[in-house]
Homo-oligomer: A and B are copies of this chain.
Amino acid sequence: MTIDTPMTVPSPARPASTPAQQQLRTAQDLFIRRWGEMGQTWGINRTMAEIHALLYIVGQPLCTDDVMERLHISRGNASMSLRALCDWGVIRRLHKRGERREYFESLSDVWEMFSIIAAERKRREMDPVLETIKQCQQMLDEDHIGKAARLDAVQITRQRLAGMEDFMTVTNKIFQQFIGNAKSGLTKVVKVLLKAF
């Protein structure tokens, strides 16, 4: 008899799969795939979106090996993607008592996840644009560009910058509302919105 090599085994020990379990899995996979596709078109890479979808949809903590096996990805990829998701704050590390390996679980509240993502994207992408717009406006100030400020071309660009600033400012305010009001607040926001129209 060979030595009982303690191989790394996904947890929990997988029981024989019933038809119902297979169907559950199929449904989950469908969701995961779709979520991955959507992620891509919003600038989130497919694997990250899929890992997140997986953790969200199964609703229970999984370890790295579970994720690797379920999505057929390498250890390195799983490790990096899981870390990135933790950094975003949409999944959490979890230590099980008496277990060596780490588990990960998704936030369960979609509204909260959305808040987190919105906050981050606003900070990373919208704020810099607003700042750039202000910078451009400054460059076209009468102070900086002199009497050429009355050139048609300059005036048009000024108007366009103003239009965009307007838009970004308002959008920012909306984001701000959502961000500050996560869980309970958001449903209130939504209720207010839907009633108002």
Contact = CB atoms under 8 A, between A and B. Distances in A.
Interface stretch (A1-9, A67-75, A78-86, A163-171): A163-171
Contacts of A38: 125-126, 128-129
- Place the interface of chain A in its size category: 35 or more
A21 B38 CA distance: 43
B146 A20 contact: yes
* Stoichiometry, copies per complex: 2
A94 interface: no
Nearest to A155: B59
Contact of A27 (B140, B167, B181, B189): B140
Q: Is the interface of A mostly helix, strand, loop or mixed?
A: helix
A42 B157 contact: no
A194 B160 CA distance: 23
Interface string A149-189: 00101101101110110110011011001000100011111
Contact of A156 (B60, B140, B161, B188): B60
Contact of A110 (B60, B166, B192): B166
